Amino acid sequence: MNVRGKFSLYIIVSLGLALAIPVLAPVACFASQEAAASGGSAQGDASAGSQTATITFTKIFKSSYPEYVEVKVNDTGAGTFDIRQLDESANPQPLNLGPELAQKVFHLAAQLHDFQGVQLEARRRIANLGQKTFRYDKGGESYEVTFNYTENDAANQLLNIFEGISREEGDISDLKRTARYDPLGVNDVLTQVQSDYKQKLLPEPNQLLPTLDAIAKNDQIINIARDKARNLAGQIRTEHSE
């Protein structure tokens, strides 16, 4: 190609690029804005996901057993529990409440304004029953109330749920521990579990079923205890749908 031909081709290519740039620029700008918006939305979703509400119940009662109880649950039902003596190290264990019970916990807390500015301590003088605290956390919000004894109906319902959860998890822990380290002691623990169940102190008896089933199948445990575990599991299944 001669010099004149090369020059003409250069002019044509230059004009084509000049015409294409104004068209492509808005497209690139739009793509950039869309990506930014998408990223912002993703960040917003992640931020929203981090705004999980959590309710924590603690009870401190020195010279009792246990001396310290903490149950923490978020609005999905996931949480932890820690039951121990005060001189023992913290050892929170995983906890999962059913959706119905989790919803009830947060419904009762809402009736108490999520513990914001609420007074629960009864005016009349009562013996020491242990220091109890309800705490609500969500994002930067945090409210709590502490009391020894209350006559507030919603607070007492919430207290019964949390104490029931701690009792239930304690029963499960005791069953697992004795089944592993003290098979002869399983029968005594099962007698206590039966009593707790009969008195309706356990908010979610179905949580006991995997442990009861394992004991019923464990031939290292005496037959009377295995039969007791099997019968209690059957009763729970009959009276509480899974």
Domain limits, the chain: 1-50, 54-239
Q: Which of 82, 55, 56 is nearest to 68 (CA)?
A: 82
What is the DSSP annotation of 7-73?
A: HHHHHHHHHHHHHHHHHHHHHHHHHHHHHHHHHHHHHHHHHHHT---EEEEEEE-TTSSSSEEEEEE
The letter for the amino acid at 126 is I
Instruction: Give CA–CA dist 13/189, Å, rounded.
Output: 89
Using pLDDT thresholds of 50, 70 and 90, give the confidence band for residue 50. low
Is residue 5's pLDDT more than 80?
Answer: no
Using pLDDT thresholds of 50, 70 and 90, give the confidence band for residue 218. very high
pLDDT tens column, 25-47: 443 443 444 444 444 443 443 33
CA atoms within 13 A on the CB side of 26: 3
Contact call for residues 183 and 222 (beta carbons, < 8 A): yes
Contact call for residues 232 and 190 (beta carbons, < 8 A): yes
Using pLDDT thresholds of 50, 70 and 90, give the confidence band for residue 132. very high
